[in-house]
């Protein structure tokens, strides 16, 4: 059997000022269609050679420019040191911004905003999604990128951030958040039912720690629920626990929000 040789080609230091290096994978002395992405000397991904790396610093600068244009302010969650929240790996960025104007839903003050996401390891496109913040319990909720997918750009060859296009997309997201607030109000008029309680209880991606006591579970199975509780209370009780759970990082929070929004539509 012939000996197989796999090694790196000449390192591309174009993004070295951001701590990022790229190196093609060479297979039996021929360049392949793959390359390695390194951050601060550590390999973080092997991706197709046409993958266009957008440094998170560049994405954050773009987000700040867009936020100024739409009159939004940086929003720092309690579990982060700034509004720029990074994944445990440090490869994914979630930059959070909030509108200065508040809205009233059932007598409660709620702010809307947006999140700009990006990654250097192929796990997240450059994208924007909706965000709400409930003042009464300092509870934030990331609406996700699939629900409000007005700007979702994969890092393919030639990709570059178009500030004007992102600004238009963010304005659209903020406008559509009005519909989210309307749906929040509707949740106050709907009671928790067995189907929703069962889906919450049996979800393998929602932590047992965030499920309220009025949804009784045993071995991840529903054994009882309080039908007098509104979906609004259910939604807020769960999102509050997800948001304030110091034991979960931003990626886990985001996934749990996504799963909850498939169960309780907003």
Verify that 69 and 127 share a domain, yes or no: yes
Verify that 171 and 60 share a domain, yes or no: yes
Instruction: Tell me which residue range forms the domain holding 166.
Output: 56-177
Q: Phi and psi (nearest 5°) for 180?
A: -60, -45
Rounded to whole angstroms, the Cα distance separating 235 from 215 reads 12
Q: Phi and psi (nearest 5°) for 38?
A: -120, 140
In a domain, 247, yes or no: yes
Q: What pLDDT is recorded for position 144?
A: 59
Cα–Cα distance list, 170 to 72, 76, 131, 142 (Å): 10, 19, 11, 14
Q: Which of 150, 177, 204 is the last residue of a domain?
A: 177
Rounded to whole angstroms, the Cα distance separating 144 from 154 reads 16
Number of domains in the chain: 3
Beta bridge partners of 142: 131
Contact present, 128 and 150 (Cβ < 8 Å): yes
Rounded to whole angstroms, the Cα distance separating 84 from 118 reads 11
> Mean pLDDT by 10-residue block, N- to C-terminus, for the chain (266 residues)?
78 96 91 93 94 95 96 92 93 94 86 93 91 80 58 75 89 89 94 97 94 94 96 95 90 93 92
In a domain, 185, yes or no: no
* pTM (predicted TM-score): 0.88
CA-closest candidate to residue 200, choices 215, 187, 219? 215
Verify that 78 and 42 share a domain, yes or no: no
Q: Which helix (H) or strand (E) holds 187?
A: helix 163-187
Phi-psi map region of 19: left, alpha, beta (phi>0 left; psi -120 to 50 alpha): left
In a domain, 201, yes or no: yes
In a domain, 208, yes or no: yes
In a domain, 169, yes or no: yes
Contact present, 151 and 144 (Cβ < 8 Å): no
Verify that 92 and 163 share a domain, yes or no: yes
Please give the structure tokens belonging to residue 29.
Answer: 């002395």
Q: What pLDDT is recorded for position 151?
A: 59
In a domain, 215, yes or no: yes
């Amino acid at each position: 059997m012939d000996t197989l040789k796999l090694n790196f080609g000449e390192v591309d230091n174009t993004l070295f000022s951001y701590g990022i290096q790229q190196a093609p994978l060479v297979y039996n002395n021929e360049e392949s269609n793959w390359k390695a992405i390194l951050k601060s000397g550590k390999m973080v991904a092997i991706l197709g050679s046409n993958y266009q790396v957008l440094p998170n610093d560049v994405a954050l600068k773009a987000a700040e420019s867009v936020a100024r244009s739409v009159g939004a302010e940086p929003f720092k969650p309690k579990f982060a040191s700034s509004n720029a929240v990074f994944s445990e790996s440090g490869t994914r960025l979630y930059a959070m911004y909030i509108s200065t104007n508040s809205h009233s839903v059932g007598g409660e003050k709620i702010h809307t905003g947006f999140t700009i996401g990006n990654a250097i390891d192929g796990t997240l496109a450059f994208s924007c999604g909706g965000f709400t913040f409930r003042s009464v319990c300092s509870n934030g909720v990331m609406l996700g990128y699939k629900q409000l997918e007005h700007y979702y750009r994969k890092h393919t060859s030639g990709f570059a951030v178009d500030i004007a296009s992102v600004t238009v997309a963010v304005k659209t997201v903020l406008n559509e958040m009005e519909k989210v607030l309307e749906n929040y109000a509707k949740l106050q008029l709907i009671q928790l039912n067995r189907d929703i309680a069962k889906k919450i209880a049996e979800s393998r991606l929602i932590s047992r720690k965030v499920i309220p006591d009025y949804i009784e579970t045993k071995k991840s199975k529903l054994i009882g629920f309080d039908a007098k509780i509104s979906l609004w209370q259910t939604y807020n009780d769960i999102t509050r626990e997800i948001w304030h759970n110091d034991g979960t990082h931003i990626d886990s929070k985001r996934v749990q929000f996504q799963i909850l929004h498939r169960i309780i539509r907003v």
